[in-house]
Amino acid sequence: MACPVSQSAVELNPAVLPLDWLLGIWESDEPGEGSFPSISPFRYIETLHFSHVGQPVINFMFNAFHAESRKPLHRECGFIRIQPGTNNVAFIIAQNSGLVEIEEGELIGQQLTLHSRALARTSFAKEPYVQQISRLIQLRPDGRLEQTVSMALENQPLTQHLHVTYRRAS
């Protein structure tokens, strides 16, 4: 899965200037924690790439690996948009699991709070199906980026699934 992530020499589009704090490469500074009632807890490492090519979007790619075995796990790529004249933000995401989603929410300062608005999946996706996702991404005062992801399945209410912090690698 390759989404356009190469940093461009073009200027950042003014429409996404409020998201400039995300740009660059981020690596988990310690393994993140993953859990959910239907799976065994796990630890993972992750690299985030946020870039632009001058369009009014931020491109992103997230790559997660098992902390001990380094086996590839979850991958996401997509785009971040801001509704002009507002602090409304949308993530358009494709996942390697066959899930495609649109998350919408707000940008307040250097914090993004998002909730799934639309989910679609391949016809042969693994059950039980994801029904809802929420995500909180924030730049902490210590300069680290923090992400918490919660999800709900058909048989499980919205529950925290992932939590990780990152340090800027570039």
Whole-angstrom distance, CA of residue 159 vs CA of residue 28 = 22
Tokens 């992400």 correspond to: 147
Average pLDDT over residues 113-131: 94
Whole-angstrom distance, CA of residue 37 vs CA of residue 137 = 23
Segment 11-59, tens digit of pLDDT: 999 999 999 999 999 999 999 999 999 889 999 999 999 999 999 999 9
pLDDT at 93: 98
Compute how many other C-beta atoms are within 10 angstroms of the C-beta atom of residue 35.
15
DSSP code per residue over 55-105 = SSSEEEEEEEEETTT--EEEEEEEEEEE-TTSSEEEEEEEETTSEEEEEEE
Instruction: Output the six-digit token pair for 100.
Output: 């495609």
Question: Which CATH topology does 14-168 take?
Answer: Lipocalin (2.40.128)
Contacts of 40 (CB under 8 A, 6+ apart): none
Segment 90-112, tens digit of pLDDT: 999 999 999 999 999 999 999 99
